[in-house]
Structure 1
Amino acid sequence: MNLKKLFEMQRALDRHIEEKHQLLEEDLFNRKVLALMVELGELANETRCFKFWSIKPASTKNVILEEFVDGVHFILSLGIECGYTKIDLQVPDTAAGLDATEQFLRVYEKTGIFQTSKRLEDYVKMFESYLQLAAVLGITYEEMEQAYFAKNEVNYQRQQNNY
């Protein structure tokens, strides 16, 4: 996964949005954290991993992938906000028997810790836990990157159409 390219694309999108909505002087950190948590909940809802009371299956992989990259957008944006764009991530390629519900909770926990500390090491742990969630959900880095590129275009179109 080419993190440098993703950060560059996200920086351009963030700048476009902040200029358009006159937010260049605003502190958007907490709003971005909340947006990430909301997107994480939307992703969990599509996987249905926690819905022990229901037999309805998870959404298609494409829907799950699109929801997943919504979270990637906000994680990248938070990194940019804090100046954490040159990072090394250590994420296993496999899910190693991890439970999706537990991994979602881990991402929420790591996000909360980062929201409070704003420390680089906590940002990296949050990002790594989100990428581990990708492995649990069967999402590859290639799929993630391609879906990010596609959704980034959609986000620009939405801004042009006053979303």
Structure 2
Amino acid sequence: MSVTLEQLYEKQKELDARIIREKGLEGVDLLPNTVLALQVEIGELANEWRGFKHWSNDREPRTSVKTCLACSGIDVPDVFGLCPICNSENPMLTEYVDCLHFFLSIARQLDLPADDLYAWEDIAEGNTTILFSELLHNVGLIHADNMLEIPIKDVKNYRREHFKAALFIFYALGEQRLGFDFDQIAAAYLDKNKTNHERQANGY
């Protein structure tokens, strides 16, 4: 796929602008809402990964739909072939790109240039559960400056530093721990972005 991260960022800006315009949110500080939304999506991603559930015998990542509402889990062929839901949806990837939507939206709200969205590096071997916790921690600190008495002049840099730290962990989780490559992520993002526009059109 020839889509770039910059193009995904522009698509997110278009979606955000539409939501702000159609919901009458001009001038509203949406950062607290977006940070919380991202934390919720990270939790949902962890829930699909399942590796932290030491109390369960079922700790395998959810990479396919097990009980499909379209075919009741029996993979009934439709006119185009096998069930399009069961054979296309990866719940873990779906949650990952939901997170990416909010990461890109926060980047827009922090007025970050596209160059700041590149943070791919190898990370040391370690506990994936701890990486999820570190991710949530850094995301939470993106707007915690008002509780930590950060001087006003330093707030912008403080937020950006924690955003970049969170993004670094997020990319590492996706590619090095969850097994997604950029083409998969970009394709899933574009599909979800289209769905999000359709939801706005339908009064979501």
Fold conserved between structures, TM > 0.5: yes
CA contact (8 A) 1:100 1:137 kept: no
Matches of residues 16-55 of structure 1 in structure 2 within 5 Å? Answer: 16-55=18-57
* CA deviation after TM superposition for structure 1 residue 60, in Å: 1.3
In terms of fraction of residues, the more helix-rich structure is 1
Rounded Cα–Cα distance in structure 1 between residues aligned with 2:28 and 2:10: 21
CA contact (8 A) 1:111 1:126 kept: yes
RMSD, aligned α-carbons: 1.7
User: What SS is found at the alignment partner of 2:32?
Assistant: helix
1:126 aligns with 2:192: no
CA contact (8 A) 2:12 2:104 kept: yes
* CA deviation after TM superposition for structure 1 residue 96, in Å: 4.8
Structure 2 unmatched runs, 5+: 65-89, 146-155
1:58 aligns with 2:61: yes
Rounded Cα–Cα distance in structure 1 between residues aligned with 2:198 and 2:32: 25
CA contact (8 A) 2:9 2:114 kept: no
Which one of 123, 145, 150 corresponds to residue 186 of structure 2?
Answer: 145
What is the identity, as a one-letter code, of the residue corresponding to 1:24?
E
1:101 aligns with 2:101: no
What is the identity, as a one-letter code, of the residue corresponding to 2:129?
T
Rounded Cα–Cα distance in structure 1 between residues aligned with 2:121 and 2:192: 25
What is the identity, as a one-letter code, of the residue corresponding to 1:58?
P
Rounded Cα–Cα distance in structure 1 between residues aligned with 2:17 and 2:187: 22
Moved over 6 A (4+): none
Structure 2 equivalent of residue 158 of structure 1: 199
* CA deviation after TM superposition for structure 1 residue 75, in Å: 0.5
Structure 1 equivalent of residue 121 of structure 2: 92
1:77 aligns with 2:117: no
Between the aligned residues of both structures, percent identity stands at 35
Q: Which moved further from structure 2: 96-105 or 47-56?
A: 96-105
CA contact (8 A) 1:87 1:124 kept: no
The structure number with the bigger radius of gyration is 2
Rounded Cα–Cα distance in structure 2 between residues aligned with 1:80 and 1:90: 16
Rounded Cα–Cα distance in structure 2 between residues aligned with 1:60 and 1:44: 12
| TM-score relative to the length of structure 1 | 0.91
* CA deviation after TM superposition for structure 1 residue 11, in Å: 0.2
Structure 1 unmatched runs, 5+: none
* CA deviation after TM superposition for structure 1 residue 98, in Å: 3.2
For this pair of structures, how many residues does the alignment match? Answer: 162
Q: Deviations for 1:128-155, whole angstroms, at most 9, x for unmatched residues? A: 1111110211111111111111110011
User: What SS is found at the alignment partner of 1:46?
Assistant: helix
